[in-house]
Structure 1
Amino acid sequence: MTANERTRELVRIAAKAADDKGAEDLVAFDVSDPLPLVDAFLLATGNSERNVAAIADAVEEAMLEEGVKRLRREGKSEARWILIDFGDLVVHVFHEQERVFYGLERLWKDTPLIETGVVADAPG
């Protein structure tokens, strides 16, 4: 089983909203095979608590414009790791230290990547 096209489209929309607020290291995983209730995870990193919160707010707003309401949002008060559950898509917005510490990329490394549509900055 793979993430459906609508979920892939929502990944691209959420990634663009995150990128517009300065998110870094955007990566999306197709987790539909190991997780029966979720199709995709989108991971993003912010450089401060304020930036993490702004990224999460922008993603939520973009999804709402697409007619997709959040089911759950956790971590807003600390803004170190905000999880936003949209059903088929779960967005994780991390502060850099939390992203390294929890290492979700290591956990999901064997799942297929989903194209985010966001072009990464070329190194220095």
Structure 2
Amino acid sequence: MNKLTLLDSRKKSSVTRLTRNSKIIKTIIHAIQEKKGQNIISLDLRKIPEAVADFFIICEADNNIQLKAIADSVEAEVKSKCLEIPYKHEGRQALQWILIDYVNVVVHVMLPEPRKFYQLEEMWSDAPMMEHKS
């Protein structure tokens, strides 16, 4: 019984809670800023039961080249600094909206037109939002 208690307490202490100050979130935002991404926001979805992730990070790119550069930068920085690779990414063919899914954090790199059209900030308006300087 003693070993079980010790194992159980070790398991609980190894679980880290994802916050806005988590290394992966800071790394993603920094990577976006390095490539001059604009209108960077993070949405904290942890208190929304139907949310697919804990955080969304959304930003804009001026054109297809910058869109790809931001997405590449995010993946490279997160891999080198956090040792994480995306579970999935989509949108690299159409280059209008690239989604990078790290399971608990989903990054949306969008051109202005799709961002206006889909209005993710409005869709998740119950979530606390934070703006990050470009």
Same fold (TM over 0.5): yes
Greater fraction of residues in helix: 2
How far apart, CA to CA, are the structure 2 residues paired with 1:101 and 1:36?
20
Matching residue of 1:48: 63
Aligned partners of 1:75 and 1:82 also within 8 Å? yes
Matching residue of 1:13: 27
Structural RMSD (CA): 1.9
TM-score between both structures, scaled by the size of structure 1: 0.84
Deviation at 1:50, TM superposition (A): 0.8
Deviation at 1:103, TM superposition (A): 0.4
Aligned partners of 1:11 and 1:89 also within 8 Å? yes
Matching residue of 2:107: 91
- Residue 28, structure 1, aligned to residue 34, structure 2: no
How far apart, CA to CA, are the structure 1 residues paired with 2:33 and 2:40?
8
Computing the radius of gyration from Cα coordinates, the structure with the larger value is 2
How far apart, CA to CA, are the structure 2 residues paired with 1:36 and 1:102?
16
- Residue 73, structure 1, aligned to residue 61, structure 2: no
The aligned length equals 116
Deviation at 1:7, TM superposition (A): 7.0
Matching residue of 2:98: 82
How far apart, CA to CA, are the structure 2 residues paired with 1:7 and 1:82?
24
TM-score between both structures, scaled by the size of structure 2: 0.78
Q: 1:74 to 1:5 in 2, by over 3 A?
A: same
Aligned partners of 2:20 and 2:26 also within 8 Å? no
